[in-house]
Amino acid sequence: MDPRSDKHRPLIAAVLGLSALVAATGLMAAPASAAGSVSEIKLVSSLDEPRGYCIDMTGSKESASPTSPLQTHSCYDSEGGITVDQGVTTTGIAKGSLRFPYFGVCVVGAGVKAGGSVTLKSCGTKVTKAVVMSGGMIMPVGSKTLCLTAGPTSTPGGGGSPVHLKRTLTWETCAAATADRQTWRVQS
User: For 133-174, what is each residue's pLDDT tens digit?
Assistant: 999 999 999 899 999 999 999 999 878 889 999 999 999 999
Give the three-state DSSP class for 104: coil
Contact 184, 136 (CB under 8 A): yes
Question: From 3.40.50.300, 2.40.30.10, 2.80.10.50, 3.40.190.10, which CATH number describes the 31-187 domain?
Answer: 2.80.10.50
Taking the whole predicted model, whether its pTM rises above 0.85 is answered as no
Q: Quick one: average pLDDT of 46-63?
A: 95
Residue 17 confidence class, pLDDT cut points 50, 70, 90 = very low
Checking if the pLDDT of 48 tops 90, the result is yes
Q: pLDDT tens digits, residue range 61-71?
A: 899 999 999 99
77-80 — which CB contacts under 8 Å span 24+ positions?
77/40, 77/51, 77/187, 78/51, 79/25, 79/27, 80/25, 80/27
Domain ranges within the chain, ordered by starting residue: 1-28, 31-187
Contact 73, 84 (CB under 8 A): no
Checking if the pLDDT of 13 tops 90, the result is no
Cα separation, 155 vs 34, in Å, equals 31
Contact 170, 151 (CB under 8 A): yes
